[in-house]
Homo-oligomer: A and B are copies of this chain.
Amino acid sequence: MPENRQVLIDSLPSGKLEASNYKLVSSSMPEPAANEVLCRTLWVTVAAGARAGLQGSASYAGAPKTGVVMNGAAVARVEMSLSSDFEKGDLVVCNAGWQDYSVHDAASLKKLEGSVAPVHHLGVLGTNGLTAYFGLLDIGKPQPGQTVMVSASGGSVGHIVAQLAKLKGCRVVGTASSDEKARRLTQTLGIDAVVNYRSPDFRQLLKEATPDGIDVYFDNTGGDILGSALFRMNEHGRIACCGVVSQYDTSNPAPGPRGIPGLLVNKRITMSGFLVFDFAERYAQAREQLSAWIQSGDLAPLVDEIDGLENAPEAFVDMLAGGNIGTRVIKVAE
């Protein structure tokens, strides 16, 4: 009988997350009951937002727990089905978490359709891409010729936001965690400018990269980058608050930006937090549009694949430090 490897949350981080907060164990194979399906994980995500789930109670991800399998969406293959809706070999998206095998109620599975590569269902056609789509288009409302800034522009959400903003005819300015990464992003994504937020001259560099100010800021980070963006916002600008990755990897989040609420008033800025789940009834329509852009070549989603379930903890720690470009996934099985 095959082994079911699982990565458990062994302890909660007291400061920065470390790979040692996880433990790889071998457990018995789960068995499906009536209307359940046994799935084999092919790829599983490491998602920045999941770091918030290890932090405390003030998160949509819920209160943190130890001794459980680390959460993560997966593309999986059906190994055994006790449901008439699925058969062995079907590819599905499920909340498998970081493990080889998992059992799911058939109603919770989504069968993969369409001609887009399966792994993209964890990126551009999954939560990341939908977040980029609704956050930029519905909350940010960019107009052709405007300037869109996106933080963590190499990230799973950010790299799609950047491309969608280019598609909408905007000047796009991103941030990244090193000069080298900034150069790669400019070349890979066609972003107009990417600024290294760790540079001591960050504010000056951001100013130079946004000669006409910023009309839409898609904020994945919060913290100092948000504070700096506020000073470059144009009147009646819009800030789509998507995530706070600058504050996830700590047990002591920093105060908010000094310009709030003063700059919001002076510049009549609107800042809106959003969660993609609120747009669920429009997912199908968004996926259709995103798929069409991929097929036309207008959108080139990036997948940053790390091999081996055992490497998931290190891959997560590295991603929180800005090591990825595109959606980081763990390749668990062929």
| Chain A positions near chain B (C-beta within 8 angstroms) | 58-60, 219, 222, 226-227, 239, 241-244, 247, 253-275, 278
In the assembled complex, the Cα of A59 lies from the Cα of B259 at a distance in Å of: 11
Query: Which of B242, B256, B278 is close to A257, meaning CB atoms less than 8 Å apart?
Result: B256
Contact A244 B262 (CB under 8 A): yes
In the complex, residue of chain B having the shortest beta-carbon distance to the beta carbon of A272:
B270
B263 and A274 contact, CB distance less than 8 A: no
Q: Are B278 and A271 in contact (CB under 8 A)?
A: no
Complex contacts, A273 vs chain B, CB 8 Å: 261, 263-270
CB distance from A307 to the nearest CB of B (A): 32
A267-B273, A269-B273, A273-B268 are contacts. A260–B257 as well, Cβ < 8 Å? Answer: yes
Taking the full assembly, how many copies of this chain does it contain?
2
Expressed in whole angstroms, the Cα–Cα distance for A271 and B257 within the complex equals: 14
* Separation of A227 and B241 alpha carbons in the complex (Å): 17
Whether B268 contacts A272 by the Cβ 8 Å rule is yes
- Contact across chains for A275 and B268 when beta carbons are under 8 A apart: yes
Q: Indicate if the CB atoms of B265 and A271 lie closer than 8 Å.
A: no
Given A268-B273, A273-B268, CB of A261 within 8 Å of CB of B219:
yes
- From A258, A270, A273, residue with most partner B Cβ within 10 Å: A273
Given A256-B256, A257-B255, A263-B58, A278-B272 contact (CB < 8 Å): no
Name the distance in Å between A268's Cβ and chain B's nearest Cβ.
5
Q: Which residue of B lies closest to A274 (CB)?
A: B268
CB nearest to A61 among chain B residues: B266
* A272–B264 CB distance below 8 A: yes
Q: Which residues of B contact A244 (CB under 8 A)?
A: 261-262, 265
Question: Are B222 and A266 closer than 8 Å at their CB atoms?
Answer: no
Also in contact, A271 and B261, with CB within 8 A (given A255-B255, A256-B255): yes
Residues of B close to A268: CB separation below 8 A: 272-275, 278
Write the nearest CB–CB distance from A328 to chain B, whole angstroms. Answer: 21
Sample 12 A-B pairs with CB under 8 A, ordered by A number.
A222-B260, A241-B264, A243-B265, A244-B262, A247-B262, A253-B258, A253-B262, A255-B258, A256-B259, A260-B260, A266-B275, A268-B274
Closest to A255 in B: B255
Cα A219 to Cα B266 with chains together (Å): 14
Which chain B residue lies CB-closest to A236? B278
Pairwise interchain contact B264-A275, C-beta atoms closer than 8 A: no
